[in-house]
C-alpha cells in the first residue's frame, strides 16, 4: 500500500499502528489507521514495542519513574516495568480490536521487545514496501527529531500518519497540501480514496513561492482533475509562501477543519527535524506525511 502510487491491482500493504510505550494513546490515531485500512483495503497491525533501553535502565538500582502529571518518584524495577508494559499493551490492543471490529477492518496485534525504530522497521520490512506507519501517541512539539528518525530509518514505508495533542476529528474533508508538483497526482488520488471513508470532499491546497508557478500548478491540477470521475468534488486553493514559515499552511488546516490531511514530509508544513509547535497547535485531524 502506498499513498502516492496506490492502484487497485497492486499488492496490498499494511497499516502499522505503532505504540512506542508511553502512557498515552491517541484515539484519533486509531481511527485514522482504520480509515486508511478501509480506503486501501488493507489490514491493521497494532505494534506495541517494549523499549529494551527501558529494561537497561531498570537494571540500575537508582532507576525511578515519575508520573507525567506529577506526583513523586518511585522505584522502577524490572518486574514492575514488565508488568506495566504488559498492561499497557493489552489495553492498546484491546482498544484497537474494538475499533477495528466496529469498522470491519482486519486487525492483528504484536508485542515486540526491541529498540523502537528497529522494531517498526522490521515490521514494515516483512510486507513492504507499501506500508503506512501510524503513530499511536500524539506528537509533542519536541518530537521533530523522532519523526525525522522514523523517516530515515524505516524505509519500507511510504509515509507516516501523525496526530497532535489537539486531535479531535477524523471525519470531514480531506485536505491535500501539495508543495511539489511531482507529488500532485499521487496525493490527489490518495485524497480521493480517503474522501468516501472520511465522509467529505477533497480540498487541494497548492503551495508555491512564485505566482506563475502556482498558476501553472493549478492549471495542471485542474486538467488532472478533469479526467477524474464527474462526482468528485474538488476545491482548489493556492497559497503563496515566500519563505519556510509553516504558519500559513497550519492556518489552512485550521480554517478547513478537515477530517484528514495529507502533506509532504520535509516541506514547509513539516520540515525535517524542525519543531512541530506550529503544527501541533493547529492540527485537529490525522495528518498523512508522505515521503
Residues that bind other proteins (CB under 8 A): 20-23, 27-28, 31, 51, 53-54, 56-57, 59-60, 62-73, 76, 81, 84-85, 87-88, 140-142, 165-166, 168-171, 257, 277, 280-281, 284
* All cell numbers assigned to 50: 517494549
Cα 233–Cα 102–Cα 186 angle in degrees, nearest 5 = 35
Shortest distance (Å) from residue 83 CB to other proteins: 9
Q: Taking the chain, what is the end-to-end CA distance rounded to the nearest angstrom?
A: 14
Shortest distance (Å) from residue 45 CB to other proteins: 20
- For other proteins, the closer CB: 48 or 151: 48
Rounded distance between C-alpha atoms, residue 14 and residue 1, angstroms:
6
- For other proteins, the closer CB: 147 or 221: 147
Shortest distance (Å) from residue 80 CB to other proteins: 8
- Would you give the DSSP letter of residue 182? G
- For other proteins, the closer CB: 172 or 266: 172
For residues 116 and 20, the answer to whether their CB atoms sit within 8 Å is yes
Strands 14-19 and 43-51: parallel
Shortest distance (Å) from residue 234 CB to other proteins: 23
- For other proteins, the closer CB: 45 or 137: 137
CB atoms within 10 A of CB 266: 18
Q: What are phi and psi of 271, to 5 degrees?
A: -75, 150
- For other proteins, the closer CB: 51 or 179: 51
Shortest distance (Å) from residue 288 CB to other proteins: 18
Shortest distance (Å) from residue 23 CB to other proteins: 6
| Three-state SS at 23 | coil
Rounded distance between C-alpha atoms, residue 166 and residue 28, angstroms:
10
- In what helix (H) or strand (E) does residue 86 lie, and over which residues does it extend? helix 78-103
- For other proteins, the closer CB: 208 or 278: 278
Rounded distance between C-alpha atoms, residue 173 and residue 115, angstroms:
37
Amino acid at each position: 500500500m502506498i499513498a502516492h502510487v496506490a492502484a487497485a491491482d497492486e499488492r496490498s500493504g499494511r497499516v502499522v499502528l505503532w505504540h512506542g510505550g508511553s502512557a498515552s494513546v491517541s484515539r484519533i490515531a486509531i481511527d485514522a489507521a482504520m480509515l486508511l485500512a478501509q480506503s486501501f483495503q488493507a489490514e491493521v497491525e497494532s505494534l506495541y514495542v517494549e523499549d529494551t533501553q527501558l529494561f537497561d535502565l531498570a537494571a540500575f538500582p537508582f532507576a525511578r519513574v515519575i508520573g507525567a502529571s506529577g506526583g513523586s518518584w518511585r522505584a522502577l524495577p524490572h518486574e514492575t516495568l514488565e508488568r506495566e508494559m504488559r498492561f499497557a499493551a493489552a489495553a492498546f490492543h484491546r482498544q484497537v480490536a474494538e475499533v477495528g471490529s466496529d469498522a470491519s477492518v482486519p486487525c492483528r496485534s504484536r508485542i515486540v521487545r526491541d529498540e523502537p525504530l528497529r522494531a517498526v522497521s522490521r515490521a514494515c520490512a516483512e510486507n513492504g514496501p507499501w506500508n503506512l506507519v501510524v503513530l499511536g501517541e500524539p506528537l509533542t512539539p519536541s518530537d521533530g527529531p523522532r519523526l525525522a528518525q522514523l523517516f530515515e530509518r524505516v524505509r519500507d514505508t511510504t509515509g507516516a500518519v501523525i496526530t497532535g495533542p489537539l486531535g479531535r476529528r477524523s471525519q470531514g474533508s480531506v485536505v491535500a497540501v501539495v508543495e511539489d508538483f511531482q507529488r500532485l497526482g499521487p496525493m490527489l488520488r490518495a485524497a480521493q480514496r480517503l474522501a468516501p471513508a472520511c465522509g467529505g470532499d477533497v480540498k487541494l491546497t497548492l503551495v508555491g513561492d512564485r505566482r506563475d508557478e502556482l498558476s501553472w500548478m493549478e492549471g495542471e491540477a485542474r486538467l488532472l482533475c478533469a479526467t477524474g470521475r464527474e462526482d468528485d468534488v474538488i476545491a482548489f486553493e493556492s497559497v503563496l509562501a515566500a519563505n519556510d514559515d509553516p504558519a500559513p499552511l497550519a492556518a489552512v488546516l485550521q480554517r478547513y477543519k478537515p477530517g484528514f490531511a495529507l502533506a509532504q514530509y520535509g516541506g514547509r508544513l513539516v520540515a525535517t527535524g524542525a519543531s512541530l509547535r506550529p503544527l501541533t497547535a493547529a492540527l485537529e485531524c490525522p495528518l498523512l506525511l508522505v515521503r
